[in-house]
Amino acid sequence: MVDQRNNSNAREKIVQNIPRIITDQKNKALWKQPTKKKVRNAIFIVEPDKAPGTYGFLDGFFQKKLGDNGKRCVVCCKRVLQKRKIPEIIE
């Protein structure tokens, strides 16, 4: 049987020796919600007919939606980032 205290102590020693690369300030910035401009730029940086994402949508779908109603698409993208899932109904 493995002694949990020894296992925990070994883990703590390992973690203490891993250099801290990301500062608290940088970590907060990484978790900050992207702006409308950043979402828009991320969508338009990729060619519209590149390979589809996990849910089968090409970037052209999102680019077209941004052209038609950009605000709604950006809100949808931000919700996906927050909740980490695609809404059941995407119009």
User: pLDDT by residue (tens digit) across 42-70?
Assistant: 878 888 887 777 678 888 877 777 765 56
Structure confidence at residue 2 (pLDDT): 52
Rounded to the nearest integer, the mean pLDDT of the chain is: 77
The domain segmentation of the chain, as residue ranges, is 22-83
**Are the CB atoms for 30 and 22 separated by under 8 Å?**
yes
61: burial class by Cβ within 10 Å (0-12, 13-18, 19+)? middle
Answering whether pTM is above 0.85, one says no
In the predicted model, is pLDDT for residue 19 greater than 80? yes
